[in-house]
Each structure stands twice: as structure tokens, then as C-alpha cells.
Structure 1
Amino acid sequence: MAINRKRLVYFERWFDPIAEQILGGQDDIELVRLLYADPQADNWADLSTAVGYQVSARTELQEPWFGNAALMERCPNLLAMSSAGAGYDVIDVDACNAAGVIVVNQSGTNSEPVAEHAIALMLGLTKRVGYTHRAMIKGQANDRLELSGNNIQGKTVGIVGIGQIGRLTAKYASAFDMRVLAFDPYLTEQQVAERGARKVDFPTLLAESDFITVHCPRSKETIGMFGAEAFSRMKPNAYFVNTARGRIHDETALLDALTSRRIAGAGIDVFDVEPPPPNHPLLHLDNVMATPHIAGGTVETMHEMSKKAAEQWIALLRGRVPPRLVNPEAWPAYSDRFARIVGFRPDAIEA
């Protein structure tokens, strides 16, 4: 039987209430809020009849509500899942392809603040902002010349993944006359050049960069990308910055590189476990600046991400091709399921 009012579920809250305001005003969408604290049986009852699932960000998402095969097996009407931000590693795309479920994200809606945050960490590390702040509190800032930092002007920054965020980081780095290198195996030399960088291989990026900033997705290819070997190839005066995802760098290897002064410092917005415990050893190093996965979470951006996510859901549930479709390969199977479940066939993807 076709579904005329499409059920869209989410847990707890959106980044900004604008999404609930927009979606709650649509006659053809039933927006259902779930709570992690509620009995699982009640949440499964709502999820099992939903056609759409807005998946929380990894920091807030709890088991068993990840977008995986086990969840889809219990949700026969599920047509689409949307990640809260640009990253979608909380959703198993391969399992979605097999099930005829499409995945969408909010790519491009938080690029500016993440790129700004990466530059801010670079500046904070070289100007020793965190260290000197603590030194003043401890009464250890009597000789200010001993607390001198460095310039970033004219230095080399290596960008890992020069997509939406990476290209903006390159643009902002150019304001400091920085030399910009990029490692991105999915782009040509010309494409990388058009984004303001010179394409290099990974060993070259490690060897020549004064700063390395990570802007790639977390995937099978990138998990553990920065381990002991990678850090050993970096300059001893280089800084490592990750505002992308935890586990792209190995935390133990990074700790060893920092404590042995194999590299100069690190700016970390992402951790294996979020939020990290207060006794996490990386948080207590003088050559580390850490933030709790807030790079893309500015007030303006949370509003924009939520607004764009809501608008994308409306388009999707009315049969349009969503603007930020992650897995177009699932569209044929999805279209068949959509027609059967909703009662009409969605638009075709233009070749």
C-alpha cells in the first residue's frame, strides 16, 4: 500500500531548530522525534515504519542506531538516510547500495568554518597561544622572549584531500603567501591546480610540508593513514592538523611523535572516542591545541546545515534527485522501491 504521508525520523534534535520548523510545516511529511533514553522497542516501532532517517553525528549517535545493514533489515520501508554533516561514515554505504537505500549528506554547507578552524589551529600552534596562556596562569611568563612563536607566512602547507574544505583551506593559506601542496588521488594535476595547490604524492607531502592538514573522509583507505611511519617522515619542525575525522591518525603514534619531539605540534579537533576523556594524554601536552569536534559547528553553519538538510529531505521525499547524493549507483533500485512504497516513480538522474 502506498504511503501518502512520509514518515521521517530523527533522534533528539537537529543542529538548529530551523529544520524542525521547515519539516514540521509540510503536509506530506510526518516528522517524528525519537529519544535515546526511550525503550528501544518504542524507537524500533517508529523506525520500522519510516521512509527517511536523519542520522545523528558520530559524537552524539548511539548504538544500535547507526545506519548499517542490521538497522535496514528492521526497516523495510526505509528509502533514504541523511548524515548530519558532510561526513557520512556513520552510514554503511555498501549496505545501502545492496538494500536500494540512498545516502545524502550536507557536503559544502560547513566548508568555510572547518577551513577557518584549520587555519586557526595552525596560527594558534605557531603563535603558541595555548601554551603561553597556560604559562601566564602558572606565573611562568616572566621572560616573554622565551615564549616566541613563528610566522606561517611563506611556509608550506600540505593538504590531504582538496575537496570543498581543502580548496578553501588552500585559498585561506594563500592570504599568508603559503606554498600549497595537495595529496588527492582522485583529482588530476590540473584540477588540483585549479583549486590553488600543486598535486604531489603522499611521501612528498610528508617530506616537504611545514603544516599538514587533513580534509579527507574517513574510509577504509584513510583509517590509520597517519601512523608511526607517516609521522617519522614529517619534518621535525612540522605541525599536524586534523579537523576531519578520528582514526585517520593513530592516536598512540601521534602521542609518541609529539612526546619525542619528532614533530613540533598538533592541532586536533577529532578523536577516536568523542568527547575524549579529560585524562586523554594528548590533551595535556604543551605542543597540542585540541577542540571537541567543533570545527564545523559554528552558529551560522549549524543553521545552514539544518536548513539545507530539511530542504533536501523535502525534495527527496517528493521524488526529486537530491543535490548531495552520495551513492547514485543505488538510484535504479531505490526508484523501484520508492515507486512501490510511496506510489509514484521519482525523477531519473540525468546522464
Structure 2
Amino acid sequence: MRILISDHPDSMMPDHALEIETLRAGLGPDTAVDVLPYRGDEHEAFLKALRGADALLTAFVTIDDAVMAQAPDLKVISLNSTGYDCVDLEAATRRGIGVCPVGEYCTSDVAEAAVAFVFALHKRLKAYGRRIDNDHVWDFAALEARPRLQDQTLGIFGFGKIGRCIARKLSGLVGEVIVCDPYVGAEAASAGGARLVEKDELLASSDVIVNSMLLTAGTQRYFDEEAFAAMARRPDFVNMSRGMVVDEDALLGALESGRIRGYAADVLADETPDLARHPLIGREDVLLTPHSAFYSSTAMESLERISCENIVHFLRGEKDRVFKLVN
């Protein structure tokens, strides 16, 4: 049995001891585990390492049909992420390759980051910090006053586990929570402390918007120029989903025109952005973190353990024990 662990260098785990230990404990001490940082200009080296592998553990390496064709022994792709848009699911299914994202390991962590973003934008912490650190200005009135957060409406796109957790954490701190999710009914939204609305109403009625939708073909660039134009209350906008959900050109236009007051995100459209040239970098109305919302010692241990247990259970024929199998 041979397992390949490979991802972009800045997405690799700092240490693979727990992953290797979990794989060998479940599949046997003789299980071969290869670790290869993925570099786009060394794609052939990745394909060579993948040949003969029974399983691949990754998060952001693109695995399309052409890649799978080079790996005739591949049986399962385990993703140490909740998303799986980097994998051609149709091709994997046709080839009999299981795809197993980690369904749950960091819901509370991501919700905590969303709450932090909401308050940091609302209280203009970055803008005040710049005035203090750079300009040595100690003046509460240097920025325009805003209404209290408890008097404002929070709109959440995507009311799955993360969206519901965000609503729970913020429900007592805002005036109202409204949500938009085509897969959630009014009763389920109400049980989660929110009121279900359509997209247009949420865009027009929210003072703060948090996005926690999955990235799918239907949600790519969901927040485009038309969506930003519909944000009538000039909201703060927080993206806790994937970067490709937001049209960054339209976002930049909305910031420049004042259609939104501020933007915070844990992601950018490019998972390996050119920070020196990115137009969102350096703005005092933008807060960014390097896809780190999930990052806690608790979440990291769960992420490594669950993603490797998914491989173990799948290869042992225990598909009912795989945490999440999407094909």
C-alpha cells in the first residue's frame, strides 16, 4: 500500500508525523507514505510520484481527468479541506476513485474568525490603528461614527454548519439575522435564530453581509457588479467561503465607489496570490488573513486525523465509516 501526501508548499502541514502514524496504524506498519511539496513547474515530478499510489492526500492541487489518467492504481483522493472543487468529481466517479473531503473539523474556528472580522470592520480597527501607528493621531472622531451593531441587520449567505454557527455567535449582538440559502426552509432558518429571505432582500436590507456558501459552478463570482450595486445600505462584507465566489474587479469597484464600507476575507481568488501586486493589499478598508480562519491546535489535529482516517476506511472497504464521501 502506497500513499502520497502532496500540496502547494505553503499549504503543507508543518509536520507529517500524525498523518503517517494514523495511516500506518490503520493500514499496517509497512505502508509507504511519500511526502512531496507540489510545485507547478515540476508537475511531471508530481505525476511520477502519483503513479503507483493507492491514495492521495491533498487540499489544493488540481486533480483533473488528465492527472487521474496517469495514476491507474489511485483508489481514493482525501482532501484535508471541506471544499473539493480542485477535483474533477465526474472524472473521479467514472474512474471509480472515491473523493473524501473533511466534512467537519473547524466550524467553530471559522465562525470565530467571522465574528472577529465583523467587529474589526465595524469598529474600523485597521483604520484607527494606521492613524495611531503611522500618523500618530489619537482622535476618536477621525472617522465617521456608525450606529451600534446591535441596531443593524446581519445577512448570511449559506446557512449550513458554518452559517448557523456564525448566526448563533452573533444573534445576541445584532438587531436581526436574515439568511439566504436555497437548500434551507423557513422553519430550519427560524430554528437557527434567523429569518429566511431571497437574495435581493438580503442584499438590499443588510448592514453586514457574511458569505459562507460553498464554491460551486453556480456560485462562482456570485458577488458580481450587479450584486454589489444591490447592497443599498453600504454594508461591511465578509467572505468566509472561497475567493472565487467574489468577482474581485467588481469588489474593488464597490470599495472605490463606497457601495460597500469595508471588506474582510480569509481567502483571495488565487490561492497563491501575488501580494506585492494585488490591488486589495494595503487598503485600510480591507482586512485579509491567509486562509487561516480554521487554524487552531484543536482543528489541526482533527484535520490531519480525519483526512487520514478517511483513506484508511476507504481502502479497507469501510465506506460507511468514511466521514464524508461525495461520490
Is the Cα–Cα contact under 8 Å of residues 180 and 198 in structure 2 kept in the other structure? Answer: yes
Instruction: Provide the C-alpha distance between the structure 2 equivalents of 1:40 and 1:252, rounded to a whole number of angstroms.
Output: 30
**Other-structure match for 2:33:** 31
1:30-69: per-residue Cα shift (whole Å, max 9, x none)?
322224369655543331211211123x3xx4xxxx2111
Instruction: Provide the C-alpha distance between the structure 2 equivalents of 1:48 and 1:256, rounded to a whole number of angstroms.
Output: 46
The one-letter code matched in structure 1 to 2:302 is: E
1:48 is aligned to 2:43:
no
Is the Cα–Cα contact under 8 Å of residues 76 and 311 in structure 2 kept in the other structure? Answer: no
Structure 2 unpaired stretches of 5+: none
**Other-structure match for 2:129:** 133
**Other-structure match for 1:114:** 110
The one-letter code matched in structure 2 to 1:32 is: D
Length-normalised TM-score, structure 1: 0.84
Aligned with residue 288 of structure 1, among 286, 294, 297:
286
Instruction: Provide the C-alpha distance between the structure 1 equivalents of 2:2 and 2:82, rounded to a whole number of angstroms.
Output: 23
Is the Cα–Cα contact under 8 Å of residues 181 and 205 in structure 1 kept in the other structure? Answer: yes
Evaluate the alpha carbon distance shift between residue 297 and residue 275 of structure 1 in structure 2; reply closer, same or farther with a 3 A threshold.
farther
1:238-262: per-residue Cα shift (whole Å, max 9, x none)?
1111121012111111111111111
Sequence identity of aligned pairs in percent?
31
Instruction: Provide the C-alpha distance between the structure 2 equivalents of 1:75 and 1:236, rounded to a whole number of angstroms.
Output: 52
Is the Cα–Cα contact under 8 Å of residues 103 and 323 in structure 2 kept in the other structure? Answer: no
Evaluate the alpha carbon distance shift between residue 313 and residue 183 of structure 1 in structure 2; reply closer, same or farther with a 3 A threshold.
same
Aligned with residue 73 of structure 2, among 72, 77, 80:
77
1:219-268: per-residue Cα shift (whole Å, max 9, x none)?
11000100111001113431111121012111111111111111111112
Instruction: Provide the C-alpha distance between the structure 1 equivalents of 2:37 and 2:15, rounded to a whole number of angstroms.
Output: 17
Residue 146 of structure 1 deviates from its aligned partner by 2.6
Instruction: Provide the C-alpha distance between the structure 2 equivalents of 1:35 and 1:125, rounded to a whole number of angstroms.
Output: 36
- Give matches, 1:166-205, under 5 Å: 166-205=163-202
Aligned with residue 269 of structure 1, among 266, 269, 273:
266
Evaluate the alpha carbon distance shift between residue 150 and residue 19 of structure 1 in structure 2; reply closer, same or farther with a 3 A threshold.
farther
Residue 150 of structure 1 deviates from its aligned partner by 4.9
Partner-residue secondary structure (3-state), 1:312: helix
**Which deviates the most, 16-25 or 233-242?**
16-25
Large movers: runs of 4+ above 6 Å = none
Partner-residue secondary structure (3-state), 1:281: coil
Residue 71 of structure 1 deviates from its aligned partner by 0.9
Is the Cα–Cα contact under 8 Å of residues 6 and 56 in structure 2 kept in the other structure? Answer: no
Cα RMSD for the two superposed structures: 2.1
Instruction: Provide the C-alpha distance between the structure 2 equivalents of 1:131 and 1:36, rounded to a whole number of angstroms.
Output: 37
